[in-house]
């Protein structure tokens, strides 16, 4: 029995260690000194924001430490590549048709109202992106008189085009809210899986924009093929809300990672269970 337990431990340890090793590439940002200094986010630790948007490292509030990213929709535009992007992962995520890509993208961030009250028209979308605006997912953080502080989600299907889900309304203005995004890229159309978690609760499950880039109308930016995902885009688009300038959202604890196939980890876990089953059968015999 002792021998069996040792083998079981070894098998499970192997599975756990292998799962841990599966994380291939990750970057984490707390926006703290000395890596970050208060002011324009552009050029700090690989972040970019070449356009004239209101996105700065701030010491106004922080979830951890003293500093965070503050971003508003005081200035918006219809463009993409000049908006606010995280540092790019060295190893991208995507389907196997994309060179060097791993099949899972995980991202998380926390956000908080910078004023603690209504900022009508405040809106920032966050997307898994290729660093140039080829958005594969879309999560919208907004504030308005109807829905209050709220979160929305868009995916795209061949049947219905862009599909919107309002996943949360009237969030607490006074507290930080955490968002976790898991994107599983599965080879072939119509099957990628996106899971959106808000404050620890799954609020949306959908798919990526993969089929928009496969089959979507070129007039709308679709049909151009799949791009690697290596970054998060924080985008100030749509109608500007000038009153939110110098306010908006605080964003902290931004993390993004690309990972090796989850099925490999699952297979190892199944392997460990098979070992256990085999030992149990042997013991009975
Ligand atoms: Ca797919």
Q: Residue 249's domain is classified under what CATH number?
A: 2.60.120
How many domains are contained in the chain?
1
- On whether residue 39 sits in a domain, the answer given is yes
CA of 231 to the centre of ligand 1 (A): 19
The conformational region for residue 100 under phi > 0 = left, psi -120 to 50 = alpha, else beta, is left
CA pair distance 193, 187, nearest whole angstrom = 11
pLDDT tens for 146-184 read 999 999 999 999 999 999 999 999 999 999 999 999 999
Q: What is the mean pLDDT of the chain?
A: 89
Domain that holds residue 221: 24-114+154-168+177-284
CA of 79 to the centre of ligand 1 (A): 26
CA of 48 to the centre of ligand 1 (A): 28
- On whether residue 274 sits in a domain, the answer given is yes
pLDDT recorded at residue 278? 45
CA of 207 to the centre of ligand 1 (A): 9
CB count within 10 Å of CB 162 equals 13
CA of 134 to the centre of ligand 1 (A): 15
- On whether residue 48 sits in a domain, the answer given is yes
pLDDT recorded at residue 24? 87
- E strand residue ranges, 185-285: 193-198, 201-206, 231-235, 249-259
pLDDT recorded at residue 22? 61
Looking at the predicted structure, is the pLDDT value of residue 267 above 80?
A: no
Q: Which DSSP state fits 120? A: T
Looking at the predicted structure, is the pLDDT value of residue 274 above 50?
A: no
Cross-strand partners of 198: 179, 201
- On whether residue 123 sits in a domain, the answer given is no
- On whether residue 143 sits in a domain, the answer given is no
CA of 210 to the centre of ligand 1 (A): 6
CA of 244 to the centre of ligand 1 (A): 38
Looking at the predicted structure, is the pLDDT value of residue 271 above 70?
A: no
Q: Establish how many alpha carbons lie within 13 A of residue 120's alpha carbon, considering only the half-sphere containing its beta carbon.
A: 2
Higher per-residue confidence, 191 vs 285: 191
- On whether residue 85 sits in a domain, the answer given is yes
What average pLDDT does range 231-256 have in this prediction?
98
- On whether residue 196 sits in a domain, the answer given is yes
CA of 208 to the centre of ligand 1 (A): 8
- On whether residue 84 sits in a domain, the answer given is yes
């Amino acid at each position: 029995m002792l021998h069996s337990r040792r083998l079981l431990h070894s098998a499970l340890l192997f599975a756990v260690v292998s799962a841990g090793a599966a994380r291939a590439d990750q970057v984490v940002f707390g926006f703290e000194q000395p890596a970050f200094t208060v002011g324009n986010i552009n050029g700090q630790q690989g972040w970019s924001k070449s356009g004239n948007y209101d996105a700065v490292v701030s010491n106004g509030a922080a979830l951890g430490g003293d500093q965070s990213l503050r971003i508003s929709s005081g200035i918006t535009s219809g463009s993409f590549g000049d908006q606010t992007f995280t540092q790019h992962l060295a190893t991208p995520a995507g389907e196997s048709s994309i060179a060097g890509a791993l099949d899972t993208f995980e991202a998380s961030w926390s956000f908080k109202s910078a004023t603690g009250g209504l900022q009508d028209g405040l809106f920032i979308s966050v997307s898994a992106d290729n660093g140039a605006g080829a958005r594969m997912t879309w999560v919208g953080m907004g504030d308005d008189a109807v829905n209050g502080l709220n979160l929305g989600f868009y995916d795209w299907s061949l049947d219905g085009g862009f599909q919107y889900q309002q996943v949360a309304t009237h969030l607490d203005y006074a507290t930080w809210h955490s968002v976790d995004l898991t994107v599983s890229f599965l080879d072939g159309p119509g099957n990628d899986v996106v899971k959106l978690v808000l404050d620890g609760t799954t609020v949306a499950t959908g798919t990526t924009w993969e089929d928009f880039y496969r089959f979507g109308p070129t007039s709308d930016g679709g049909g151009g093929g799949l791009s690697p995902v290596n970054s998060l885009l924080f985008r100030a688009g749509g109608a500007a809300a000038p009153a939110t300038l110098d306010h908006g959202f605080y964003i902290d604890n931004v993390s993004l990672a690309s990972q090796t196939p989850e099925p490999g980890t699952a297979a190892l876990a199944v392997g460990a269970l098979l070992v256990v089953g085999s030992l149990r059968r042997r013991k009975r015999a």
